[in-house]
Amino acid sequence: MFIVPATTILALRIYRQRSLLRANIIPIIFGCLVGSFGSVGIIALLCRLFSIDKRMTISLLPKSVTNAIALELSIKNNGFGGLTISAVIITGVFSAAFTPFLIRLFKLKDPIAVGVAMGASGHAIGTAAALKLGETQGAMGGIAIGIMGIITSLIFIFI
């Protein structure tokens, strides 16, 4: 019921930041590339290290994209939908809880980098937390959600 108003508000914030987005599109895409390959790569490595079977691995790989994309990637590749949704939600909650601490720890000041980091690591839940930090952070988090979804979907083509 609230997805349409929430999406509209996020789209408005992104629209207001379009000049900033245009000026920084290459670093934003690069940050999302690193985030997507890092997320998928670490999960693949850990699953291999702990001898997790292929269906479970496929279910966990899309944990850093939004639920709708992750579920579709998992199911189309014979994964477990429930496990995928659980992994996405847990990832988002941990990101929203710990990313602000890590941002302070590493003294990250750039609102664009903060927003991309929170959106790329925590998708919608991380972006909601980024919105609390500011409009720029929220808008960049929203952009990161979309870019991460595209990149992760392309990675799944080669899996």
Place of tokens 């108003």: 5
Tell me the C-alpha distance between 7 and 22, whole Å: 21
Please state at what angle helix 25-49 crosses helix 111-133, rounded to 10 degrees. Answer: 80
Q: Which of 113, 156, 118, 120 is nearest to 34 (CA)?
A: 120
- Listing DSSP states for the chain in one string gives --HHHHHHHHHHHHHHTHHHHHHTHHHHHHHHHHHHHHHHHHHHHHHHHTT--HHHHHHHTTTTS-HHHHHHHHHHTT--HHHHHHHHHHHHHHHHHHHHHHHHHTT---HHHHHHHHHHHHHHHHHHHHHHH-HHHHHHHHHHHHHHHHHHHHHHHT-
Query: Is residue 2's pLDDT more than 80?
Result: no
Q: What is the pLDDT of residue 21?
A: 83
The tens digit of pLDDT for each residue in 92-104 reads 999 989 988 999 9
User: pTM value?
Assistant: 0.87
Q: What does the pLDDT look like over 23-81, one tens digit per residue?
A: 999 999 999 999 999 999 999 999 999 999 999 999 999 999 988 899 999 999 999 99
Positive or negative, the CA dihedral 104, 105, 107, 111 is negative
Residue 135, pLDDT above cutoff 90: no
